[in-house]
Amino acid sequence: MNTDFDVCVIGSGAGGGPIAATLAAAGHSVVVLEKGPWFTEADFFKDELACCLRPAYRSKLFEEPQVIEDREADGPWQAQSNAQSGRDFWNGNCVGGSTNFMSGFFHRLKPVDFRLLSEFGPIEGAHIADWPIDYAALEPYYTRVEHEVGVSGRIVPHAHLEPRSTADFPYPPTAEHPVSARIDAACARLGVQSIPVARAILSRDAMGRRSCEYSGYCGGYGCSSGAKGSSRAALLDRAVASGRCEVRPRSKVARLVSDARGRVTAAEYFDAAGATRRVDARVFVVACQAIETARLLLLSTGPRHPQGLGNAGGQVGRNLIFSAGAIGACDLPYADLPAAEAQALRRRGPFVNRALQAWYVFEAAYLGGRRKGGTIDFVLDHPNPVPTANALKWDGERLVWGLPLKRRLEQQFRAAQHLNFEVFADWLPHADCHVSLDPDVRDQWGTPVVRLRVGQHPHNLRIARFLAEKGEEVLRALGGVNVRSRVNRGPPPNLVAGGCRFGTDPASSVLDPDCRVHGADNLYVSDGSFMPTGGSVPHTWTIYANAFRVADGIAAALGTRTTS
């Protein structure tokens, strides 16, 4: 059968870029359909108004709402469109997806993360499952990401260091802020080992990209130097340059068409003008981000898939996961420090690049004995001033203004450095965290939108509180004052996975171990949807690694490229 392309990839982020780059390099023709526009380095400004206070790089909620179900404590579930609430689960709808705006904290999963059920046993109400592959299957692909995406760092042996096939990272660490030394010293006094954090940010020019320029405006912002290892800068630009990959921005896929055998035959999409178009291919790969991937599969009904592609077992959209965690902070007042040290701490730009994994696995009788813990990453306050200033104008429900507000702002921005930590822990999959289609609300193309239930298992909160207390101990040990923390009660919208977990049983999974959709042998899912559990680190490196693994499998299945 003649087809337009060998491979059609839907979505261009961490799950899509490795597919396009690998298969184009192997000689196959690839088309990437991306709903958002195609920005380049020249479009990324360090302008808070242009970037982060307006949906410059995300979907507009009045055009593409989501209906979110949440509840207070054990009260009834309440559904509300985020066109009214403003609560936003969109991330980076543009070529390269949210990888354009990531902070680039890169931690690998560890062998224990692949065997959460076997290692720690069941937890009531949680749908925990072991992965159908082990760490060894992904290790070569973690290494491949280091080289092809560009990861900077240094390896320091520690108790929970995962096995590696290489001695160190291909690029030296990015520049470190002076506060990193204070963290190291405090941890040493506590008998805890701090570890350097690898970043998906180039520390020197490489691969046609400039190194980091240390503006301080990194997380949440696009990178104007190309140093950040976004899917666009690191992979898609190269794939397009090969002449075998075409990226079609502003192409919103509405559904995948399948035949009587269950195979996908076409992707139907709306172009920038709103006209309906169709692409044929031999193989289709969905990489829309976990929430939107589930939505697309549910919308793609067909003769062999009356409930949606891969949904014969009713599993599409189930077992959605985020990242459980907490945040903490302290102040380091300049007046309490020697002048030279205070001046050093005022510096902006370099990264903290410090984390703790001392409690990745720990023992605590009050939590049931041996438990899976997580990662504590340290960061400075983001230089974005507007959210901070907006928070300072309130004292409870009382508005602060005039001279008292000026003094608050002065204290915040001129009197101290503010060191924070972020906790990453497993978000246990369970019945009250899932994606479905809303029966009533439509987007601007007339397509049903997601209905997203975001309940959290109580075990997440207990682990997050344990780790937050450890983070507070470090902040106090390094001389921080006004130490505080809070557990995240809701899900972080930028850390989402699951919804189409992979496994060996079609009754309890959507994908096989190669991330091929059960019942549709030419359809794959390569974003974070595949993950049965998320581990206790940010997901991006694992999504990249697995997408390279899936790409190699597709290349093997396609065999020698043909032109017929």
Adjacent-strand bridge partners of 324: 425
Per-residue pLDDT for 561 more than 70?
Answer: no
Whether the CA torsion 54, 56, 61, 62 is positive or negative: it is positive
Residue type for position 222: G
**Res. 1: pLDDT tops 80:** no
Residue the block writes with tokens 């799950």 = 15
Which residue would you say has higher pLDDT here, 49 or 21?
Answer: 21
At residue 441, the pLDDT reads 96
Asked whether residue 266 carries a pLDDT value surpassing 50, the answer given is yes
Instruction: Give the pLDDT confidence score for residue 46 in this predicted structure.
Output: 82
pLDDT tens readout for residues 171-189: 999 999 999 999 999 999 9
- At residue 209, the 3 state secondary structure works out as strand
Per-residue confidence band for 88, with pLDDT thresholds at 50, 70 and 90: confident
CB 196 within 8 A of CB 154: yes
H-only helix segments in 309-385? 339-345
Average pLDDT over residues 409-417: 92
Domains and CATH numbers, the chain: 1-66+88-113+227-322+434-448+496-564 (3.50.50.60)
pLDDT at 51 over 80: no
Span 228-255, mean pLDDT? 97
Mean pLDDT of 405-418: 92
| Percent with pLDDT over 90 in the chain | 87
pLDDT value of residue 564: 35
Q: Cα separation of 99 and 14, whole Å?
A: 6
Hey, is 465 helix, strand or coil? helix
Please name which of 436, 486, 426 lies closest in space to residue 456, comparing C-alpha atoms. 426
8 A C-beta contact, residue 20 and residue 32: yes
At residue 384, does pLDDT exceed 90? Answer: no
Q: Span 461-469, mean pLDDT? A: 97
pLDDT at 73: 79
Contacts of 332 (CB under 8 A, 6+ apart): 179, 345, 416, 417, 418, 419, 478, 479, 480, 481
Mean pLDDT of 154-161: 96
Give yes or no for residue 50 having a pLDDT over 80.
Answer: no
Write down the pLDDT at residue 49: 80
> What would the pLDDT profile of 95-115 be if each residue is shown by its tens digit?
999 999 999 999 999 999 999
The residue with greater pLDDT, 413 or 293, is 293
Kindly state the tokens that stand for 550: 């899936």
Task: Categorize the per-residue pLDDT at 382 as very low, low, confident or very high, splitting at 50, 70 and 90.
Answer: confident
> DSSP assignment of 3-41, as one string?
-SEEEEEE--STTTHHHHHHHHHTT--EEEE-SS----G
Provide the pLDDT for residue 562. 44
What is the pairing mode between strands 398-399 and 195-196?
Answer: unpaired
> What gap in Å lies between CA 530 and CA 558, rounded to an integer?
22
pLDDT band of residue 482 (cuts 50, 70, 90) is very high
Q: pLDDT class for 27, splitting at 50, 70, 90?
A: very high
What pLDDT is stored for residue 53 in this prediction? Answer: 78
Q: Which residues contact 556 (CB under 8 A, 6 or more apart)?
A: none
pLDDT at 373: 97
Contact 371, 364 (CB under 8 A): yes
Tokens of 344: 């050093």
Task: Tell me: pLDDT of 560 over 80.
Answer: no
Rounded to whole angstroms, how far apart are CA atoms 335 and 257?
Answer: 66
Q: Which residues contact 75 (CB under 8 A, 6 or more apart)?
A: none
Amino acid letter, residue 286: V
Helices (H), 135-211: 135-145, 179-190
Q: What percent of the chain is predicted at pLDDT more than 70?
A: 99
Helices (H) and strands (E) in the chain, counts: 14, 25
Interatomic CA distance for residues 275 and 270, integer angstroms: 5
Listed range (43-47, 212-216, 430-434, 454-458) with the worst mean pLDDT: 43-47
